[in-house]
Structure 1
Amino acid sequence: MASSSSSRSSSPNFDDDEDEYSNLMSTATPISSPARKRTADDAGLDLDTPSSISGALPVAVRPNGNHHQVISAYAPRKRLRPEQVAEVESFLSDPFPVQMAKLFVNVKANENALAKFQAAKPKFEINSDLKTNITRATNAILCSSKITQYKGEVAKNDVQTLLMHHRWGNFVAGTEHDKAAMDVIQQFIGTVLTQSRSTIKKEIVKSVEMAKKKKNQDPPSLCPDHTHTTIYQLTKTIVQKLCGGKAISIPITPALCARVAMMRKWHVRRIENKLSPEDAGKNLWELVDQDLQMVRTVARKDTEDSAEIAKRVAKAFAAILDKDRKRHGSNPAEEIPDTTDDALISYQADIDETIEARSRGQTVSTGEGAEEEQSEGST
């Protein structure tokens, strides 16, 4: 692999990539109503009209025997206890201000009871169904061809948006307003993201590096190119590990293989000491995220046509995938298939749409009975 040009002082590898990406891609307010003006009629209003205001207030009506009879029959049907029925009958005889005061007192009493219930409620714990679905969604986001950032809060926010929409496990409506519960959920999402990124990196390392005789042996070295794992097999292994070694629930596509190839490109550059001084102190995910940003930036150059931008991005990743095959080998009989599993396609499409909606700054439905919220972390 050719080394970066030393003539550029800032991130020479990225500069080279930007030129390459540019070459690859080059072919291809609501109206408010006017304020109402004050009229002469308004000016002539008599503001001191206590009689008209008092006339609108309800007048106390003395209950008669029919009222008591109706309530005495109705209350038991609502399962009120005898002493509660007596309280209702007494309430009927109270003056109107006393009735209103009693209602307000009961509202406050209910608030106190609810606060006591909330204080006694056990600490929120993520049940097994919620864990399974959060883990699956997190891994699907990391394997999405629409992902815009691997490290940071963006992926975590995308998982949380999906959670709000689907209400998995014991994440019932209202849980999002419980800060303690949300802290537990966000911590779990962060843990899954960290573990899954670690799994991906370990497989990339194993695909090109010599096995170390000693655990802390330094520096790492590359195996001969012809012994490297092909990109399809590497991606398949990563997906199997993310799925727990069970049935694969993430489609293996050329787009996913291309993003794994981008990750491997930066790992190999680090081992071969082909990083600029500016990039040398960055970890793998920071380098990959910068490269993702560069691809999107170059793709948007001189155009706002979303179809054209998508075409340019696809062309850039196709070139990355082609370079990986040339460097690390490709089994001619091992073609990268497009998945035909309808369930997997539908699930991954839901993941991709959530990421794209956040990127566009659009809202995503948060599920039946819940309000729509603005997706966070758009880039």
Structure 2
Amino acid sequence: MPHQSDLDVDAQLAAAMAAESPLPPTPLGRNPLKRPRTNDDDDSQNEDDDGDLLTSIAPSRPSGDATANANRNVLVFAKQFATHKRLRPTQISEVETFAADPIATRQIKMYTVMLAIEGRLEAMRTATADFKVSASLNKNLQRLALGILVSPQLAAYKGSIPTKILMDILKKRRFDLPVGIEFIASDWATVKSRAEYQLTQLVASIKDADPKKHKNIFALGQRFVRDTDTTLTTPLCARIALMRKYYTLYPGDIFWDKLDIRLAWMRENSKGDAAKQTKMFKVILNDDRDAHGIRADYTMPDDAVVDEWQAEVDTVVDHDNTALA
């Protein structure tokens, strides 16, 4: 016998692995992929097993009675299948009648039934009571609105950005929202309207809090996070310092517009570089600390870390900012 090298063995084994294994011989007429039935099989587990039923209309032998045989096969199959699916006797009769109908008649019947079902579904939707925002959902919307407005990642305070962020989080968190409500335009509009209301109310309350009454940025920051789940951090203090600066410059209705313009300018000029934006906010924070209060009276929360909930809000805010960039 010729000597085999390692390469020959490799090739031999590779060929063996690649070869298809033939199926073992099976008794005539039995499906080789189907397990043989045993006495332990439970008939109740095979209610929908159509293996013993006619799975198709058997073709008739070519003869003068071909049409009659075909029609008879259709009726036999229709009754057998309807019985197997445990339809009521009246329903079985309807199936037999349907099977015997001409094709055009069957198409008309199917279309008519579809319209009837559509009408019933529409009646059910009409009968359903109008959706109302629950007290629990309203509380969660307020909580989300607060978390978004105090997020140091927020790109703009006015316009659609805060609302979009809130609705994105709401779709993920759900709370007690009914399943599929976002696909019902009128109900989803109700939820969105309440979300916008909460944001508007909070924006107004933040603006009405006169920052001149606070001696330092730390005290002002505590005022901002007092009713939220947010931890006061140095980046948030820097954002609040920017608010104070622009509220002092533009105390009227254009305050939020001017603030958003400044934020957009900072993003544009930093070209989205987080390090450059941090440097700009650091300058603003230092100016605020020099102008308000005594530095020795407080310590900046440099080591503070936001909790898991606010971190999730900040992540969504940052993601939406990136999508808008």
TM-score normalised to the size of structure 2? 0.70
For residue 189 of structure 2, what is the amino acid of its counterpart? Answer: D
The 1:294/1:72 distance shift into structure 2, 3 A limit, reads closer
Selected match of 1:237 from 202, 217, 223? 223
The 1:333/1:267 distance shift into structure 2, 3 A limit, reads closer
For residue 313 of structure 1, what is the amino acid of its counterpart? Answer: Q
Counterpart for residue 118 of structure 1: 125
Tell me, yes or no, if structure 1 residue 317 matches structure 2 residue 285. no
Moved over 4 A (4+): none
For residue 284 of structure 1, what is the amino acid of its counterpart? Answer: F
Mapped contact 1:130–1:171 kept (Cα < 8 A): no
Once the two structures are superposed, the pairs formed by residues 163-178 of structure 1 within 5 Å of their partners are 163-173=170-180, 175-178=181-184
Selected match of 1:108 from 98, 115, 118? 115
Cα distance per residue 1:87-122 (max 9 Å; x no partner):
223222222332222112111111111222222221
Counterpart for residue 249 of structure 2: 269
Cα distance per residue 1:193-220 (max 9 Å; x no partner):
11111222233x0x414xxxxxxxxxxx
Counterpart for residue 81 of structure 2: 71
SS at match of 2:231: coil
For residue 356 of structure 1, what is the amino acid of its counterpart? Answer: N
Counterpart for residue 208 of structure 1: 212
Tell me, yes or no, if structure 1 residue 355 matches structure 2 residue 325. no
The 1:347/1:63 distance shift into structure 2, 3 A limit, reads farther
CA distance in 1, matches of 2:172, 2:220: 32
Mapped contact 1:161–1:354 kept (Cα < 8 A): no
The 1:292/1:73 distance shift into structure 2, 3 A limit, reads same
Once the two structures are superposed, the pairs formed by residues 81-92 of structure 1 within 5 Å of their partners are 81-92=88-99
Cα distance per residue 1:218-263 (max 9 Å; x no partner):
xxxxxxxxxx33212211221113x3xxxxx123221111111111
Name the % identity: 25
- The RMSD of aligned alpha carbons is 2.6
For residue 147 of structure 1, what is the amino acid of its counterpart? Answer: L
Structure 1 unmatched runs, 5+ = 1-58, 210-227, 244-248, 272-280, 301-305, 361-379
Once the two structures are superposed, the pairs formed by residues 247-258 of structure 1 within 5 Å of their partners are 249-258=229-238
Structure 2 unmatched runs, 5+ = 1-66
For residue 71 of structure 2, what is the amino acid of its counterpart? Answer: R
TM-score normalised to the size of structure 1? 0.61
Selected match of 2:255 from 270, 277, 284? 284
> Is the deviation greater in 262-271 or in 151-160?
262-271
CA distance in 2, matches of 1:172, 1:94: 41
Structure with greater helix share of residues: 2
Q: How far off is 1:167 after superposition?
A: 3.2
CA distance in 1, matches of 2:113, 2:72: 22
Counterpart for residue 15 of structure 1: none
Q: How far off is 1:150 after superposition?
A: 0.4
Cα distance per residue 1:142-191 (max 9 Å; x no partner):
11222111012221122122223443321522x22322112212211111
User: Larger radius of gyration, structure 1 or 2?
Assistant: 2
Cα distance per residue 1:239-288 (max 9 Å; x no partner):
113x3xxxxx12322111111111111222346xxxxxxxxx64321121
Which has the bigger relative contact order, CA under 8 A and spacing at least 6?
1
